Amino acid sequence: MRQVRRHGITEKKVKLKVESPPQAEFPTLEGSLNAASKRFALVVSRFNSFITERLLLSACDGLLRSGAKRRDIDVVRVPGAFEVPLAARTLAGTGEYDAIICIGCLLRGDTAHYDVIVNEVTRGIGQSAQETGVPHAFGVLTCDTLEQAIDRAGLKMGNKGFEAALAAVEMANLKKTVTGRSSLVVGKSKGKNKRKNEKSKR
C-alpha cells in the first residue's frame, strides 16, 4: 500500500496480489454440465401445482441451457408426491433415460401425514436410483409453509427445479465417465489374463 497526495487530498493505492486458481490435490472425476445427446424424464406432481409448475419450467430451462434438445425431454405427471417414486422407477427401468428428475412439493400440515409422506418419497426415490443405476435428481420441496416453497421456486432461494436439472446432467455425465473408466480397467485385466493363459500353454 502506498499513499499519493493529489490536490491536497491523500489517496491510498492498494496493490492487489493476483493468484492462480487453486488446483485439486488429487485428480478427480467429475461430470460435465453438457446435456447434449442425453435423454431426461421429469416426473412432476400435480398436487401443489402452483409450485411444481414453476419448478418444472425452471428444470426444463436448465436442461435446454445445458444443451439438451426438446425432443429428448419427456414430462410425466402424477397425482401427488407419493406417486413420484413409482413413476420414476418405471421410467428408469426402461433404460431409455440418462437421468430422472423428480419434482414435487410437500407442505407441513397439522398432522403426522407430512412426515410419513416425506420419508416414503425420499426413500422411494433413493431406492429407485440405487436399484436401477440411473441417476435421480431430487427436486421435491419439503417446506413448513407456502412462503418457503415460493422462495425455493424462483424467489429468494433461487429455483430448486433448475438446481435439480443441473444435478441430473452432472450425474448422467459422471456415470458415463465412471462406466467408461471401469470398462477400460476390465478390458486391460482381461487382456493380461489372456496373455498369461497363452504363455502358460506354451
For domain 40-188, give the fold. Rossmann fold (3.40.50)
Question: Amino acid identity, residue 132?
Answer: T
pLDDT, greater one: 9 or 41: 41
113 counts as catalytic: yes
What proportion of the chain, given as a percentage, has pLDDT over 90?
A: 66
How many Å apart are CA 86 and CA 77, to the nearest integer?
Answer: 12
Predicted confidence at residue 9, as pLDDT, reads: 62
Predicted confidence at residue 34, as pLDDT, reads: 96
**pLDDT > 70? residue 193:** no
* pTM given for the model: 0.79
Q: Which candidate, 142, 69, 71, 148, places its Cα nearest to that of 102?
A: 142
Which of 10-19, 32-41, 174-183, 188-197 is the most confident on average?
32-41
What is the helix (H) or strand (E) element at residue 196, kind and residue range? helix 160-201
Grouping H, G, I as helix, E, B as strand and the rest as coil, residue 41 is strand
Mean pLDDT of 46-53: 96
Asked if residue 141 lies in contact with residue 51, where contact means CB atoms within 8 angstroms, the answer is yes
Count CB atoms within 10 A of the CB of residue 107: 16
Mean pLDDT of 95-111: 93
pLDDT, greater one: 5 or 92: 92
pLDDT in tens, 52-63: 999 999 999 999
pLDDT in tens, 64-94: 999 999 999 999 999 999 999 999 999 999 9
Domain boundaries, the chain: 40-188
> Active-site residue among 36, 50, 69, 113?
113
